[in-house]
Amino acid sequence: MKETRFRFQDDEHSLAAVRRGARLLLTLDGTTREYEIVQQEGGVCVLRNGTTQLRFAFSAAKSGVSVWVDGAQFVAALVERSAGKPKAAARDVLEAPMTGRVVVVAAEAGSQVARGDLLLVLEAMKMEHRLVAPCDGEVLHVAVQVGAIVDVGAVLVRLAMREEPA
């Protein structure tokens, strides 16, 4: 089991995941929960723990990770193991967290955005995933159009940020 350390909202956390057939064991800060993988398609998993079911996807880069849980987006900076200091997360590029179809493009080059503003919407597994600005800034480039099929990690939007995300 490989552990990943990350910083989210000024707190450092650890996360480890192990897949065992149709089960996923997630250990967050030493607490392990077991989930049944109900469905997996295009980078999106539907997970169930008892009566709780959620849609989950993530996109990882060298500097940080973006996680989507039931449509809500969370961005975290990875922590280097050796130095124990957070790496600077690449916040100027919004990447596709999963394979999907672009159904809405709300941003356009040159427009100003505030943290939480809708940039675009991806559809995967008949579920829409809203991708929002992590903080205030300017849209430099929109790399996709409505109807485009994108793969995990594809660059969707380039931003010039004015502040670090919360």
Model-level pTM?
Answer: 0.51
pLDDT digits (tens, 9 = 90+) for 62-120: 666 777 777 777 777 776 554 434 333 445 788 887 788 899 999 999 999 988 899 99
The C-alpha atoms of residue 78 and residue 8 are separated, in whole angstroms, by: 9
pLDDT digits (tens, 9 = 90+) for 20-51: 888 888 787 788 888 888 887 767 788 888 88
Domains of the chain: 3-78 (no CATH), 93-161 (2.40.50.100)
The C-alpha atoms of residue 116 and residue 26 are separated, in whole angstroms, by: 28
What pLDDT sits at residue 80? Answer: 59
CB 65 within 8 A of CB 78: yes
Helices vs. strands in the chain: H and E counts, helices first? 0, 16
Burial degree of 166 (CB within 10 A; 0-12, 13-18, 19+): exposed
